[in-house]
Chain A
């Protein structure tokens, strides 16, 4: 499947772009992250501490164990700082 993957704030800066299309067979968010980490050092550095990363699936907050079946958009970002 092809996913749109978005990055925000310092994750976007470390990865170097705000969005990309990713062809993946990953069944869960954690598997997708493992695939990205295996790509190169930028991804490995960005995802080195997952406690500092949040994920949304199709614009709903989710978690790393969540399945990707039926999902079109995955977003990675740091804990939010609104207000």
Chain B
């Protein structure tokens, strides 16, 4: 149950392997991981800048994580989310969930993603050839919360 908010890049593969190794030791038989990347948009995107609300980000992520643990039987969870400038292709964030069987890990990972997309205080700005634009929240993201 680790939550990290950082500017630094991280290695999604290494984080996933370390998470899986530790979860197996704790009795888990299933690990689900997800990572979000900066899109390239066919070379149209020069990069991305993510702003966050330092005082609130950590507590919001922990609240979402606690809700997931209350709903599913999880051995462990990991959330890493970056802020600041990043280039196309870079990893923005990841979640990992571990459970005894796969159903809980899959459902919890989807739940964490749905909630942190629209309930964790991050804002994405895309830097393109024609300047910078704040990414608008999509109605689908809000709708996605209703299924839980």
Give residues in A with beta carbon < 8 Å to B. 6, 8-10, 12, 56, 59-61, 73, 75, 77-83
User: For the complex, what is the distance from the CA of A83 to the CA of B56, rounded to whole Å?
Assistant: 16
Q: Which of A77, A78, A82 contacts B116 (CB under 8 A)?
A: A82
Tell whether, in the assembled complex, residue A6 and residue B53 are in contact, meaning their CB atoms are under 8 Å apart.
yes
Interface 9-mer from B7-15, B39-47, B96-104, B118-126:
B118-126
Q: Does B20 lie at the interface of the complex (its beta carbon under 8 Å from any beta carbon of A)?
A: no
User: For the complex, what is the distance from the CA of A80 to the CA of B117, rounded to whole Å?
Assistant: 7
Q: Does B81 lie at the interface of the complex (its beta carbon under 8 Å from any beta carbon of A)?
A: yes
Contacts of A83 in B (CB 8 A): 36, 92-93, 113, 116-117, 122
Question: Given the known A-B contacts A80-B123, A81-B137, A83-B117, are A75 and B56 also in contact in the complex, defined by CB atoms under 8 Å?
Answer: yes
Contacts of A78 in B (CB 8 A): 123, 134, 136-137
User: For the complex, what is the distance from the CA of A6 to the CA of B52, rounded to whole Å?
Assistant: 12
Contacts of A9 in B (CB 8 A): 51, 123, 125, 134
Contacts of A6 in B (CB 8 A): 53
Chain B 121-148 interface 0/1 with A at a Cβ cutoff of 8 Å (1 = within) = 1111100000000111100001000000
CB of A6, distance to nearest CB on chain B (Å): 7
Contacts of A73 in B (CB 8 A): 55
Could you tell me the dominant secondary structure of chain B's interface residues?
mixed
Question: Given the known A-B contacts A8-B121, A77-B121, are A82 and B59 also in contact in the complex, defined by CB atoms under 8 Å?
Answer: no
What is the chain B residue whose CB lies nearest that of A73?
A: B55
Q: Which of B55, B117, B142 contacts A82 (CB under 8 A)?
A: B117
Contacts of B124 in A (CB 8 A): 81-82
Tell whether, in the assembled complex, residue B56 and residue A59 are in contact, meaning their CB atoms are under 8 Å apart.
yes
Q: Which of A8, A12, A60, A80 contacts B137 (CB under 8 A)?
A: A80
User: For the complex, what is the distance from the CA of A61 to the CA of B121, rounded to whole Å?
Assistant: 10
Which of A12, A61, A78, A81 has the most C-beta atoms of chain B within 10 angstroms of its own C-beta? A81
Tell whether, in the assembled complex, residue B125 and residue A80 are in contact, meaning their CB atoms are under 8 Å apart.
no
